[in-house]
């Protein structure tokens, strides 16, 4: 007994490692990125006397291209959170929402307004309030929208989101929302300022990202997640087996809403500005595009999609100037037409075929 235990523990660890190593590799890269960037593309002239080598490295990470690319990754991670939350809806639960930006924007506005001059709440309290607001908001609109299905739900959620967009733009609440200008320069706590402490903000976002990733992964692997997928595949059957699919969909809707609000709040803190466009259909389309391009119903897909779209947007804007959105739209449509399963999905189909082919080859070689 005592001899076999360590072996099984060892093999368990190995199994765990073999399942998780790609994730760990990416995570290691993300954790080390500020340091690596500091060494390679940071500005060497910022080094100061008497701060030690690690201190100097941190200074270099806060400068030049290193700082810029950390910002890029921060935005990618924020959008990855947003896209993962969207995939929880569309990919795992089959809920086609065109109003997901409503949570993203509300999260951003909530944190901006609560720590702003009207309320001046402490940061921690404001962040807690954002989660509570998102909970209530997604509960209310989830209950309303989930009464319908399919494209109806798409239209209805779109209409709800548009309502928030119109209200954010309206002049009536200028004191709070800043109308069509949005809010800029609200007092983000100094220790979180992304301009002064880029690396710190980077790690904060990374922690949030990893936490959301693990929570969603846990959720979709749990029995609850299985029912979500089951009701996506065949709602009638899931109902017949005895599951009240409404509650499972609502769970997905609320979880997605809260994570999207979190992404919105992070985005607001990073940019120190919120604009009505955070609530617009365009944001939802971003999430949709990231999810679809990466691959529906996978968690890696949206992350990959967020990376691609963020970088693509950056380069397209540099190459084509203001008309880049046109190119973006066309590329988006082409990807939907030619890669219907997204990148991860297509790769999986491929590797599945490869595996099948490999099996067949082995069988032929074995003379069967």
Q: Which residue stretch of 4-12, 38-46, 48-56, 169-177 sits at the interface with other proteins (rule: CB under 8 A)?
A: 169-177
Least Å from the CB of residue 290 to other proteins: 12
Choose which of 21, 68, 152, 315 interacts with other proteins (CB under 8 A).
152
Write out the two tokens for 57: 């490295």
Write out the two tokens for 25: 């590799």
Q: Is 239 helix (H, G, I), strand (E, B) or coil?
A: helix
288 binds other proteins (CB under 8 A): yes
Question: Cα separation of 344 and 301, whole Å?
Answer: 6
- HSE, side-chain direction, 13 A CA sphere, residue 262: 26
CA distances from 169 to 9, 173, 175, 355 (A): 58, 8, 12, 53
Instruction: Choose between 268 and 289: whose C-beta lies nearer to other proteins.
Output: 289
352 binds other proteins (CB under 8 A): no
Instruction: Choose between 115 and 343: whose C-beta lies nearer to other proteins.
Output: 343
Instruction: Choose between 58 and 158: whose C-beta lies nearer to other proteins.
Output: 158
Q: Which residue stretch of 69-77, 266-274, 283-291, 347-355 sits at the interface with other proteins (rule: CB under 8 A)?
A: 283-291
Q: What is the dihedral of CA 157, 158, 163, 168, to 10 degrees?
A: 110
Question: Cα separation of 287 and 346, whole Å?
Answer: 19
Total interface residues for other proteins by CB under 8 A: 40
User: Is residue 325 within 8 Å of 113, Cβ to Cβ?
Assistant: no
Choose which of 101, 110, 127, 154 interacts with other proteins (CB under 8 A).
154
Helix, strand, coil percentages (3-state) for the chain, rounded to 5, are: 80, 0, 15
Write out the two tokens for 188: 């983000």
Least Å from the CB of residue 307 to other proteins: 20
**Distance in angstroms between the alpha carbons of the first and the last residue of the chain:** 41
Choose which of 22, 150, 189, 357 interacts with other proteins (CB under 8 A).
150
323 binds other proteins (CB under 8 A): yes
166 binds other proteins (CB under 8 A): yes
201 binds other proteins (CB under 8 A): no
Name the residues that contact other proteins, by CB under 8 A. 96, 98, 144, 147-152, 154-156, 158-160, 162-163, 166-167, 169-172, 281-282, 285, 288-289, 292, 323, 325-326, 328-330, 332-333, 336-337, 340
């Amino acid at each position: 007994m005592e001899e076999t235990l360590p072996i099984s523990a060892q093999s368990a660890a190995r199994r765990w490692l073999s399942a998780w190593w790609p994730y760990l590799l990416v995570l290691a890269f993300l954790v080390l990125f500020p340091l690596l960037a500091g060494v390679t593309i940071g500005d060497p002239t910022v080094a100061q006397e008497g701060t030690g080598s690690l201190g100097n490295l941190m200074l270099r990470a806060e400068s030049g291209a290193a700082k810029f690319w950390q910002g890029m990754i921060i935005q990618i991670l924020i959008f990855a959170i947003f896209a993962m939350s969207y995939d929880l809806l569309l990919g795992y639960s089959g809920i086609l929402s065109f109003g997901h930006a409503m949570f993203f924007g509300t999260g951003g506005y909530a944190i901006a307004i609560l720590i702003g001059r009207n309320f001046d709440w402490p940061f921690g309290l404001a962040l807690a309030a954002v989660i509570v607001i998102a909970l209530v908001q997604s509960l209310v609109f989830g209950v309303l929208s989930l009464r319908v299905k399919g494209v109806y739900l798409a239209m209805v959620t779109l209409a709800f989101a548009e309502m928030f967009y119109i209200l954010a733009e309206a002049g009536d609440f200028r004191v709070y929302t800043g109308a069509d200008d949005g809010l800029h320069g609200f007092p983000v706590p100094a220790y979180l300022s992304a301009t002064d402490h880029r690396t710190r903000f980077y790690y904060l976002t990374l922690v949030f990202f990893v936490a959301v990733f693990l929570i969603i992964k846990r959720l979709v692997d749990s029995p609850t997640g299985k029912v979500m997928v089951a009701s996506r595949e065949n709602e009638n059957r899931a109902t017949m087996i005895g599951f009240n699919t409404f509650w499972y969909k609502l769970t997905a809707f609320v979880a997605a809403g809260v994570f999207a609000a979190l992404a919105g709040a992070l985005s607001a803190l990073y940019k120190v500005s919120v604009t009505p466009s955070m609530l617009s259909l365009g944001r939802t389309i971003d999430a949709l595009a990231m999810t679809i391009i990466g691959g529906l119903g996978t968690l890696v897909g949206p992350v990959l999609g967020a990376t691609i779209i963020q970088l693509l947007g950056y380069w397209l804007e540099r190459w084509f100037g203001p008309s880049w959105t046109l190119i973006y739209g066309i590329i988006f449509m082409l990807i939907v037409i030619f890669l219907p399963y997204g990148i991860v999905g297509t790769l999986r189909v491929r590797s599945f075929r490869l595996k099948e082919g490999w099996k067949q080859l082995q069988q032929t070689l074995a003379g069967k």
